[in-house]
Structure 1
């Protein structure tokens, strides 16, 4: 990874050691902006107003209020204006909930930085840094921006957030740049990157790029931009809304014409048309979809999964196969001492003591940390130390002990063995063991010791007369909880295939440890995979659990074949070599802690914790989101069918208008929170075990379609009959009766669909029932809404009618649960193609 330092940016960088003045800082902030990776989502009054003015209900209320004011109906006008208050409150509440999905992105960066300026050394907020600033960064601190490293001292950096490398990266001071103004390509060896963290040592950073110009900033902006992509479901809903909107407009013009023809006057015709327009306007569907997708993004972010493309919120719940890499996803991505092989005459304690002496103290190096966790920390005084370098491939430490000194060394086995005195063939035996351990995926080092070394002569590193102590083999342990996640996938009929470049035996051991395979892991190599894929034989060719020694082309071939067989495939990856498979998959999942920038750019999900359990949780969240969205749309259709049909048919049949504008406002204040709040929070304990539909995605099953039609039709008949029956008394009593029947039916639908699961599922229907009782039975309130209190038998009819209306829905829910159980029992266990 290299960055180009352009001639324009070079001209704003001070010379080595120089710092910026207050005036220079101010001018550069105007030129380059603040060092802010993610703009805080607008949450003030302006953003709220911007969202609210796009709500057609606002313009309906204002328009009809103005009409009633000018014709002298001042009370009606004021009531409509007062209805704006709860609408603004509901918009503010929902707007606040949608801001949370990106709130934590800036947390990956430093909050404050120590900067050197002409005014002195000071601690400032990182967003105040500008290109040219000189920043001091110590061990444990993240870099606050991208910049060139100066005055480096024993610097090791964790760059896993950008490069995918699990091991520390050693850094050096940047060389003095030539005096010309040409562009300069500078190796990442001399860069410090925002979002990466110093493990050991210190450095000064000459800030070059800030904010969105940093590598981390580019990744985040790509993520935020990708999330705005319209999904197939969004496009389908948009087409539905357009169709319904055109139909509603045509109906409104017909309504106005018919009412004028019937002799009701232009005001009646206008109010009838406006009321029908608002009742028929399908604005809830895109609002609910957008809100639910936002909820999905937010909840997946809470599970440490950053969504880059909205389509993944739909696809993740339908995943049937996961092709997962091993390191850092199924395993911890860190070194742990697994095996000790002491030399003859040595024991494990002595071997670890030598390794600990060579490491001496925790430096942030994962291998040193693993050694010091396994063995005692050396207490002897360090006389001299020769750190590890790529050319020497060893680390040497001279220590004082009981008036004398000794030397401890650890490093590459071939290097350490060359320092030691051996018998004939002894070195070859140790090198053969090293090759075998390395072939099984272990990281192997050798240790040696030299006693009686004169401590005063420590300026030159000793390179002979060592006694070989033995080998240490390290491995990457399985993550805690991965075995449970694999078991959950097996129960949910999600096939998991480990695809790794490791040795087959290493992969087999990890697979067996995490329970991958039943009863034992079925392991093949990448070459064997290609042979099987070339065979005409179908399903049996891919009944595998582990593909070892796999190269990118083989991983891509596996993904393409699985998709050809109808699988919805999720692929995990962290490097440039994983990009083809990530692009080809239905759901590409990049590692956030270790993943490279290339992998993140093509992936649709970025895991911020690199944990396989997060993938399983994301699948469950996706299935839950789709199920809840179905319920919300089901409710909207069942409540809008009788609302629109009765709003249109009753006036067209010559009866007085059923719904006045204030009634539509009241009903929408029940419908909106029900659709948005009740169903988005519904949990289901066994949602992961609910198999997604195979083949082309159908939003509703046939049983659901029939329940929507039958329930909507029955409620339409109930509302019409209630209205027509009560007209014998007066129109205000008839309206109250019809509204009571509709609100009771809507509450009953909500109870059946939600099963009262969650606080909103209990609170919203209760508030709806209380509102109809108060607004109908309290004479003062009923008068404002042009209603009249009902009799006991009226309430009984509304209650019984609502209960009967939900019978098709109850039957459909029962049929749906039986169908899910039957489909699960008929599904083969552990097969790749089902």
Structure 2
């Protein structure tokens, strides 16, 4: 994915250590607006009532009830008014569900940001960020806006919020020469840090480029919250039928009123006769039945944890014959879970779990570390001497900890990389690779673990682990 960089916002900000001044930030805020990625959702009964009053079905039921009142049929008028209760109740329920979904989207956004202003770091509300700001994003934190990564190392980001893929994505720093020669051109996503995504490893300095609704996350939210309120085919058919019957009823009512008046029954009698015929002819049952069954559909979908923003989509769902869906986060949870352990004959499963936990980092934000540590937390007494996190180059994570009998070096990572560190007979190596392939074919993510012990004198401090 390539995104365009509006370089007029970054003029004079080539130095990756240069932030904005307070005066310049205030001027840019007035020009570009606040960094409000998800606009506030209107709430309250007034908003719900205003949205409901736009429904022509509501006015039809009110008009029918008023006609019943005019001819003295108060029981029928009360029934028409009671038919409005599910209509109001369904709209209020869907309004609350929509508001809850937007609040859930807001939970993936940073509320504060560590920004460089006037040469010093300070923590400010994320909504006050402007294009050109230099922001520090640490491990485990969310990016507060879209921007180019101008400094950092060993950067991995969780972009599952935008892409649906739970695996860490490697990021790179924009080269100084490339950054200085960019002019309204597209830049590869490997150089971007985007709002709503989370830094997993390393610290990144982000040059903010896009804020608010211009961010990619903001575009996703707008497409989810907005959208046309189009009528469904059934609703259009019912509305057309009701209009035709209303026109026909009006014609017959006027004809009946004219006939009764010319027969000498008087104006009041003629009007009452016309109203009586109108009540009998108007198809008020269609809107009531349609509203009732849409409400039942919304209720049944809600019980199955389906988010329905508008009741009209119930009919659309009934017409669906084929569903194309992204896997992660839809058909799957997007979370890893430790399900199988395959230790060597001289190592127990508990020992294997302990070694995997020793090679994991509790605060890394890596879903793999979280899955391992959820089954076996790292020993409290271990003292970490060195940590080499997983990168795409190394394809393994290494922890060196101090034990009572010396040093423990624990490694976990890609099975072929870990097996390459071990001294194994070729036949046994092939057996392990065959087991890895079998698990992979069944949809599992396979991680290899290995360890060795060292004396304090043998440890050189380098990441050169073998055995």
Q: Which TM-score tier does this pair reach, normalised by the shorter chain?
A: 0.7 to 0.9
Find the residue that maps to 2:183 and give its secondary structure.
Answer: coil
Find the residue that maps to 1:398 and give its secondary structure.
Answer: strand
In the alignment, structure 1 segments of 5+ residues that lack a partner are: 69-75, 77-82, 467-834
Once the two structures are TM-superposed, the CA of residue 161 in structure 1 deviates from its matched residue by: 2.7
Once the two structures are TM-superposed, the CA of residue 282 in structure 1 deviates from its matched residue by: 4.9
Counterpart pick for 1:420 among 422, 438, 442:
422
Q: What's the counterpart of residue 168 of structure 2?
A: 168
1:384 aligns with 2:386: yes
Q: Pick closer, same or farther for the CA change 1:100–1:375 going to 2, 3 Å.
A: closer
User: Quick one: distance in 2 between partners of 1:455 and 1:144?
Assistant: 45
Q: 1:278-336 CA deviation, whole Å, 9 max, x = no partner?
A: 77555774587468657856874685434478765125457899899987666554333
Q: Pick closer, same or farther for the CA change 1:324–1:130 going to 2, 3 Å.
A: closer
TM-score by length of 1: 0.45
Once the two structures are TM-superposed, the CA of residue 363 in structure 1 deviates from its matched residue by: 2.2
Is contact 1:134–1:207 with CA below 8 Å preserved after alignment? yes
Q: What's the counterpart of residue 373 of structure 2?
A: 372
Q: Pick closer, same or farther for the CA change 1:248–1:32 going to 2, 3 Å.
A: farther
User: Quick one: distance in 2 between partners of 1:214 and 1:295?
Assistant: 38
Q: Pick closer, same or farther for the CA change 1:435–1:251 going to 2, 3 Å.
A: same
Q: What's the counterpart of residue 40 of structure 1?
A: 41
Is contact 1:20–1:133 with CA below 8 Å preserved after alignment? no
Q: What's the counterpart of residue 99 of structure 1?
A: 95
Segment of structure 1 superposing worse, 144-153 or 245-254: 144-153
User: Quick one: distance in 2 between partners of 1:44 and 1:22?
Assistant: 41
Q: What's the counterpart of residue 432 of structure 2?
A: 430
Q: 1:263-283 CA deviation, whole Å, 9 max, x = no partner?
A: 344565456556765775557
Q: What's the counterpart of residue 147 of structure 2?
A: 147
Q: Pick closer, same or farther for the CA change 1:52–1:262 going to 2, 3 Å.
A: farther
Q: Pick closer, same or farther for the CA change 1:62–1:338 going to 2, 3 Å.
A: closer
User: Quick one: distance in 2 between partners of 1:276 and 1:20?
Assistant: 76
Q: 1:764-792 CA deviation, whole Å, 9 max, x = no partner?
A: xxxxxxxxxxxxxxxxxxxxxxxxxxxxx
Q: Counterparts in 2 of 1:105-124, with a 5 A limit?
A: 105-107=101-103, 108-109=105-106, 110=109, 112-114=111-113, 116=115, 118=117, 121-124=122-125
Once the two structures are TM-superposed, the CA of residue 456 in structure 1 deviates from its matched residue by: 8.0
1:343 aligns with 2:344: yes
Q: Pick closer, same or farther for the CA change 1:301–1:387 going to 2, 3 Å.
A: same
Q: What's the counterpart of residue 159 of structure 1?
A: 159
Is contact 2:387–2:399 with CA below 8 Å preserved after alignment? yes
Q: Pick closer, same or farther for the CA change 1:28–1:42 going to 2, 3 Å.
A: same
Find the residue that maps to 1:443 and give its secondary structure.
Answer: coil
Q: Based on CA coordinates, which of the two structures has the bigger radius of gyration?
A: 1
1:18 aligns with 2:14: no
Once the two structures are TM-superposed, the CA of residue 256 in structure 1 deviates from its matched residue by: 2.7
Find the residue that maps to 1:340 and give its secondary structure.
Answer: coil
Once the two structures are TM-superposed, the CA of residue 261 in structure 1 deviates from its matched residue by: 0.9
In the alignment, structure 2 segments of 5+ residues that lack a partner are: 72-77
1:263 aligns with 2:259: no
Q: Counterparts in 2 of 1:503-514, with a 5 A limit?
A: none
Find the residue that maps to 2:166 and give its secondary structure.
Answer: coil
User: Quick one: distance in 1 between partners of 2:145 and 2:117?
Assistant: 20
Q: What's the counterpart of residue 74 of structure 2?
A: none
User: Quick one: distance in 2 between partners of 1:111 and 1:402?
Assistant: 42
User: Quick one: distance in 2 between partners of 1:346 and 1:50?
Assistant: 65
Q: What's the counterpart of residue 447 of structure 1?
A: 449
Is contact 2:357–2:372 with CA below 8 Å preserved after alignment? yes
User: Quick one: distance in 2 between partners of 1:33 and 1:426?
Assistant: 61
Q: What's the counterpart of residue 210 of structure 2?
A: 209
Find the residue that maps to 1:305 and give its secondary structure.
Answer: coil
Once the two structures are TM-superposed, the CA of residue 454 in structure 1 deviates from its matched residue by: 4.4
Q: Pick closer, same or farther for the CA change 1:112–1:357 going to 2, 3 Å.
A: closer
Q: Pick closer, same or farther for the CA change 1:134–1:104 going to 2, 3 Å.
A: farther
Q: 1:759-817 CA deviation, whole Å, 9 max, x = no partner?
A: xxxxxxxxxxxxxxxxxxxxxxxxxxxxxxxxxxxxxxxxxxxxxxxxxxxxxxxxxxx
Find the residue that maps to 1:103 and give its secondary structure.
Answer: helix
- Greater helix fraction, Structure 1 or Structure 2: 1
Segment of structure 1 superposing worse, 403-412 or 237-246: 403-412
Once the two structures are TM-superposed, the CA of residue 228 in structure 1 deviates from its matched residue by: 2.3
Structure number with higher relative contact order (C-alpha < 8 Å, ≥ 6 residues apart): 2
Q: Pick closer, same or farther for the CA change 1:433–1:52 going to 2, 3 Å.
A: closer
Once the two structures are TM-superposed, the CA of residue 103 in structure 1 deviates from its matched residue by: 0.8
Q: Counterparts in 2 of 1:174-323, with a 5 A limit?
A: 174-176=174-176, 177-180=178-181, 182-199=183-200, 202-226=203-227, 228-266=229-267, 269=270, 273=274, 280-282=281-283, 285-286=286-287, 289=290, 293=294, 300=301, 304-307=305-308, 312-314=313-315, 316=317
Q: Counterparts in 2 of 1:651-690, with a 5 A limit?
A: none
Find the residue that maps to 2:451 and give its secondary structure.
Answer: strand
Find the residue that maps to 2:3 and give its secondary structure.
Answer: strand
Q: 1:499-537 CA deviation, whole Å, 9 max, x = no partner?
A: xxxxxxxxxxxxxxxxxxxxxxxxxxxxxxxxxxxxxxx
Q: 1:331-388 CA deviation, whole Å, 9 max, x = no partner?
A: 5543333333333543334433333322254522232233333445143322222222
Once the two structures are TM-superposed, the CA of residue 435 in structure 1 deviates from its matched residue by: 2.6
Find the residue that maps to 1:462 and give its secondary structure.
Answer: coil
Aligned length: 447
Q: What's the counterpart of residue 762 of structure 1?
A: none
Q: What's the counterpart of residue 814 of structure 1?
A: none
Q: Pick closer, same or farther for the CA change 1:289–1:59 going to 2, 3 Å.
A: closer
Q: Pick closer, same or farther for the CA change 1:123–1:8 going to 2, 3 Å.
A: closer
User: Quick one: distance in 2 between partners of 1:20 and 1:284?
Assistant: 66
Q: Pick closer, same or farther for the CA change 1:376–1:290 going to 2, 3 Å.
A: closer
User: Quick one: distance in 2 between partners of 1:253 and 1:226?
Assistant: 42
Is contact 2:139–2:364 with CA below 8 Å preserved after alignment? no
Once the two structures are TM-superposed, the CA of residue 34 in structure 1 deviates from its matched residue by: 6.0
Is contact 1:227–1:307 with CA below 8 Å preserved after alignment? no
Is contact 2:110–2:142 with CA below 8 Å preserved after alignment? no
Find the residue that maps to 1:437 and give its secondary structure.
Answer: helix
User: Quick one: distance in 2 between partners of 1:148 and 1:290?
Assistant: 50
Is contact 1:227–1:309 with CA below 8 Å preserved after alignment? no
User: Quick one: distance in 2 between partners of 1:288 and 1:38?
Assistant: 36
RMSD of equivalent CA atoms: 4.7
Find the residue that maps to 1:346 and give its secondary structure.
Answer: coil
Q: Pick closer, same or farther for the CA change 1:199–1:292 going to 2, 3 Å.
A: farther
User: Quick one: distance in 1 between partners of 2:241 and 2:322?
Assistant: 32
Q: Counterparts in 2 of 1:747-786, with a 5 A limit?
A: none
Is contact 2:256–2:270 with CA below 8 Å preserved after alignment? yes
Q: Counterparts in 2 of 1:517-596, with a 5 A limit?
A: none
Q: 1:594-630 CA deviation, whole Å, 9 max, x = no partner?
A: xxxxxxxxxxxxxxxxxxxxxxxxxxxxxxxxxxxxx
Find the residue that maps to 2:448 and give its secondary structure.
Answer: strand
User: Quick one: distance in 2 between partners of 1:295 and 1:131?
Assistant: 48
TM-score by length of 2: 0.74
User: Quick one: distance in 1 between partners of 2:111 and 2:363?
Assistant: 26
User: Quick one: distance in 2 between partners of 1:60 and 1:310?
Assistant: 23
Counterpart pick for 1:396 among 398, 407, 429:
398
